[in-house]
């Protein structure tokens, strides 16, 4: 698996340090609010797990599965709910936990949905931000790392469902994409 990686953009140590820092910061900010942390499956899973472990305060977790990408490396431009929340968001302080913001389509869809459902507040927390990919006007409140306009894998991010379990963020060697 590691042999498929051309270069590492964010190391495991950098990610872990960032999760500690952001988790502590969010815990302080939300200590009196019992936030609902919403992980966007499947990519946000490792980040959510690591960041929330450092949020030493009461919180609730739920998950949403949406898809906007097919199996490849470019966005289809459509967002589809594969699995909805089990929790009511009305009146709640939401922390949306994402792996990466690229076009911004997924997040703007979710933010609109949660506003419609009358969330009290919404904060977007993303591990990675790819500003060059943006097609809709949306900004994360909390960003772990900015990445260049390249397709990245690891730490939740997949290529054809592989590489999510890498502990770092990297770029694949061109041959891995085959004929695509
Ligand atoms: P957006 O809607 O902002 O374009 O991105 C939606 C989703 O596409 C992200 O949550 C992520 O799952 C996927 N995505 C965007 N950029 C990348 C990338 O560079 N690598 C991988 N593996 N997935 C990406
Ligand atoms: Mg995602
Ligand atoms: Mg994917």
Q: Write out pLDDT tens, residues 133-155.
A: 999 999 999 999 999 999 999 99
Q: Which of 41, 68, 176 most suits a substitution to test ligand 1, by most atoms within 8 Å of the C-beta?
A: 68
* H/E run at residue 13: helix 12-30
Question: How far is it, in rounded angstroms, from Cα 131 to Cα 115?
Answer: 24
Closest atom of ligand 1 to CA, residue 104: 3
Closest atom of ligand 1 to CA, residue 99: 10
Catalytic residues: 102
Domains of the chain by start residue, with CATH: 13-68+76-148 (3.40.50.2020)
- Rounded to two decimals, what is the model's pTM? 0.93
User: Given a cut of 60, is residue 179 above it in pLDDT?
Assistant: no
DSSP conformation letters of 59-106: -EEEEEEEEEE-SSSSEEEEEEEEE--SS--TT-EEEEEEEEESSSHH
Tokens, residue 131: 């500003």
Ligand 2 centre to CA of 80 (Å) is 12
**Cα distance from N-terminal residue to C-terminal residue, the chain:** 19
* Mean pLDDT taken over the chain: 93
Task: Specify the pLDDT at position 178.
Answer: 75
Closest atom of ligand 1 to CA, residue 158: 22
Q: Are 105 and 136 in contact (CB under 8 A)?
A: yes
Task: Give 58-96 pLDDT, tens digit per residue.
Answer: 999 999 999 875 555 555 567 889 999 999 999 999 999
Ligand lying closest to the C-alpha of residue 102: 1
């Amino acid at each position: 698996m590691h042999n498929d990686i051309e270069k590492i953009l964010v190391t495991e140590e950098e990610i872990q340090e960032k999760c500690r820092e952001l988790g502590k910061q969010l815990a302080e900010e939300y200590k009196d609010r019992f936030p609902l942390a919403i992980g966007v499956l499947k990519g946000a899973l490792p980040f959510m797990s690591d960041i929330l472990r450092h949020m030493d305060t009461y919180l609730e977790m739920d998950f949403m599965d949406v898809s906007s990408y097919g199996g490849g490396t470019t966005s289809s431009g459509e967002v589809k709910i594969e699995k909805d929340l089990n929790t009511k968001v009305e009146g709640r302080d939401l922390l949306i936990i994402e792996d990466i913001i690229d076009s911004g389509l997924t997040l703007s869809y979710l933010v609109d949905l949660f506003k419609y459902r009358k969330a009290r507040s919404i904060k977007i927390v993303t591990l990675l931000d790819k500003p060059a990919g943006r097609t809709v006007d949306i900004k994360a409140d909390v960003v772990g790392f900015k990445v260049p306009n390249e397709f990245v894998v690891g730490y939740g991010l997949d290529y054809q469902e592989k590489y999510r379990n890498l502990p770092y963020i990297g770029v694949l060697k061109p041959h891995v994409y085959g004929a695509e």
